[in-house]
Chains A and B, each alone.
Chain A
Amino acid sequence: MATPRTKKTKSDDTSAAATSAAPATAETATDAATVPAATPASTSTETTSGAAAEFPIPVKAETPSATPSATPVPTPSAAAAPAKKKVEVLRQPAEVKYAEELVYLSSIDTGKRPFSWKLSPRMIRTFILGSTPADKIERPIAQKFFGDPALVERAIVTLASDRGLLLIGDPGTGKSWLAELLAAAICGSSTHTVQGTAGTTEDQLKYSWNVALVIAKGQSRESLIPSPIMIAMQQAALGRIEELTRCTSDVQDALISILSEKYITIPELSGDNVVFARPGFNIIATANSRDRGVNDLSTALKRRFNFVTIPTVTNKKSEKEIVLFRTRELLTRNQFEVELPPALLDILLQTFADLRDAQAAASSDDQRLESSLSTAEQIGVLEDAVLHSQFFGQTALSAANVAKAVVGTVVRRIPEEVSILSKFWHSVVEKRAKEKKGEWDEYLEGGKQAMSLLK
Chain B
Amino acid sequence: MERTPPSNIEALRALQEQMDAAVQAFATDQHPVSDLLQQMVSDVERAMQEPLEIIPVCHHSPSSALHVAKRLSERPPKVIFMELCEDLRGSLDGLRDCRLPVALQAFAQTADAFPKGWSPLSVVAPLSEFSAEFQAIAYALEHPGTELVFVDRAVDYVFQWMPQQEDELEKHLIKEEEHDQGTPKAPGEEDLSDVPDHGAAIGLQMGNVEPTFDVFLGFLLKNARVRHFTEWWDQYVEQAVLAADYATYRYVLSLVGSLLRRLGRKDTDRENDLRRERYMWTRMKEHLKKTGIAPSDAIYLCGAVHAVSDVPEFGTRTDAVWEIPKRTPTKWLYGLVPSSYIAIEHQFHHPAGTVAIAETTWEKGIEALGVRPWKLGKTKSSAATSATKTKGKPAIVPATPPASGTADTARVLGFFTKPPLLHAADEEQLLKWSVDIVTLARDNGYLTSTADAIAIYQTSILLANLRNRQHPSPYDFEDAAITCLEKDRQVRKRNVPKLCQLLLGGNRTGKVGFSALPPLAQDVYTRLKPLGINLEATTIQRALIDFKKDPHLLPCSDLLWMLHYLTQGHPVLRPIMGERKLGHVPVQESWDVSIGKYQESIIRLGYEGVNVEFVVEKRLKTESFGPNAKTVTALKAAEDSILFLKSTRLTEELGDRAVDLLRNEMSAQDAPKIVERVRRLVHYYRATPSGLPKWLKDFVATGYSHYSMLLPKGFEDRGTRPAEVASMLCFVFDFEPQALALGCQRSQLEIAIRQAGPVTNDPAKIGLLWASELLLKLRDIDSIRAFLDQTLDNPLMLPVFPEYVSGFLLALAFAPVMGRVVVELLSKAFAKLPEEILYPWLPGLLLSLRPYAEDLLPRLLKDVNGLFPKDTKALGKWQPPWDKKASEAATPASASSTPGANPEVTPAQDTKAAVTPEEQAVMTLLQSAPVTAQSLAALLSA
Q: Which A residues have a C-beta under 8 Å from some C-beta of B?
A: 112, 121-122, 125, 132-134, 148-150, 153-154, 156-158, 160-163, 168, 287, 289, 292, 297, 299, 302-303, 306-309, 311, 315, 317
Contact = CB atoms under 8 A, between A and B. Distances in A.
A122 B483 contact: no
| Top 10 closest pairs, chain A to chain B, by CB | A157-B462, A134-B223, A132-B223, A154-B483, A121-B466, A306-B483, A315-B181, A307-B487, A302-B487, A157-B463
Contacts of B487: 302, 307
Nearest to B465: A121
B459 A158 contact: yes
A87 to B, nearest CB: 37
Contacts of A308: 483
B539 to A, nearest CB: 35
B462 A121 contact: yes
Given A132-B223, A150-B479, A161 B458 contact: yes
User: Which among A154, A160, A287 has the highest number of chain B CB atoms within 10 Å?
Assistant: A154
Contacts of B223: 132-134
Contacts of A153: 463, 466-467, 479
B227 interface: yes
B482 interface: yes
Contacts of B225: 125, 132, 134, 149
Contacts of B224: 134
B468 interface: yes
Interface string B470-487: 000000000110111011
B482 A292 contact: no
A297 B487 CA distance: 10
A158 B483 CA distance: 8
B26 interface: yes
Given A134-B225, A299-B447, A306-B455, 12 more contacts: A121-B465, A132-B225, A148-B227, A149-B227, A150-B227, A153-B466, A153-B479, A154-B479, A157-B483, A161-B458, A168-B488, A303-B447
A154 B475 CA distance: 12
A309 B187 CA distance: 12
B227 to A, nearest CB: 6
Contacts of B455: 161-163, 306
Contacts of B458: 161-162
A126 B487 CA distance: 27
Size bracket of the B interface: 20 to 34
User: Which among A156, A160, A161, A289 has the highest number of chain B CB atoms within 10 Å?
Assistant: A161
Contact of A157 (B227, B466, B468, B489): B466
Contact of B459 (A132, A161, A168): A161
A397 B340 CA distance: 55
User: Which among A125, A303, A317 has the highest number of chain B CB atoms within 10 Å?
Assistant: A303
Nearest to A148: B184
Contacts of A287: 488
A12 to B, nearest CB: 26
B222 interface: yes
Contacts of A148: 184, 227
Contacts of A125: 225, 466
Nearest to B454: A162
A162 B184 CA distance: 27
Interface string B170-186: 00000000000110100
B488 A160 contact: no
Contacts of A162: 455, 458
Contacts of A160: 462
A160 B458 CA distance: 10
A230 to B, nearest CB: 25
B468 A122 contact: yes
Contacts of A289: 488
User: Which among B26, B182, B465 has the highest number of chain A CB atoms within 10 Å?
Assistant: B465
A133 B223 CA distance: 7
Contact of A306 (B182, B227, B484): B484
30 contacts: A112-B465, A121-B466, A122-B466, A122-B468, A132-B222, A132-B223, A133-B26, A134-B224, A148-B227, A149-B227, A150-B227, A154-B459, A154-B479, A154-B482, A156-B466, A157-B463, A158-B459, A161-B455, A162-B455, A289-B488, A292-B488, A292-B489, A299-B447, A303-B451, A306-B459, A306-B483, A308-B483, A309-B488, A311-B184, A315-B182
Interface of B: 26, 181-182, 184, 222-225, 227, 447, 449, 451, 455, 458-459, 462-463, 465-468, 479-480, 482-484, 486-489
A43 to B, nearest CB: 26
A297 B488 CA distance: 10
A135 B617 CA distance: 68
A307 B488 contact: yes
Contacts of A315: 181-182
A199 B183 CA distance: 40
A285 B321 CA distance: 68
A302 B488 CA distance: 9
Nearest to B448: A303
Contacts of B184: 148, 150, 311
A168 B451 CA distance: 23
A162 to B, nearest CB: 7
A287 B184 CA distance: 21
B354 to A, nearest CB: 16
A306 B482 CA distance: 9
B491 to A, nearest CB: 12
Contacts of B466: 121-122, 125, 153, 156-157
User: Which among B182, B455, B488 has the highest number of chain A CB atoms within 10 Å?
Assistant: B488
Nearest to A317: B181
Contacts of A163: 455, 484
Nearest to A159: B462
Contacts of A306: 455, 459, 483-484
A108 to B, nearest CB: 16
Nearest to A287: B488
A307 B223 CA distance: 27
A302 B487 CA distance: 7
A287 B693 CA distance: 77
Nearest to A122: B466
Contacts of B486: 307, 309
B215 to A, nearest CB: 12
B821 to A, nearest CB: 47
B151 to A, nearest CB: 38
Contacts of A149: 225, 227
A299 B488 CA distance: 11
Contacts of A297: 488
Contacts of A302: 487-488
A302 B227 CA distance: 28
A437 B645 CA distance: 62
A162 B452 CA distance: 11
A363 B479 CA distance: 34
A299 B479 CA distance: 22
A289 B488 CA distance: 8
A275 to B, nearest CB: 25
User: Which among B184, B466, B482 has the highest number of chain A CB atoms within 10 Å?
Assistant: B466
A150 B480 CA distance: 10
A317 B218 CA distance: 12
Contacts of B463: 153-154, 157
Contacts of B449: 303
Contacts of A132: 222-223, 225
A244 to B, nearest CB: 11
A340 B389 CA distance: 73
A292 B487 CA distance: 12
B222 to A, nearest CB: 6
B221 to A, nearest CB: 9
A443 B182 CA distance: 31
A420 B184 CA distance: 31
A162 B455 CA distance: 8
Nearest to A315: B181
Nearest to B464: A157
A159 to B, nearest CB: 10
A268 to B, nearest CB: 33
A367 to B, nearest CB: 25
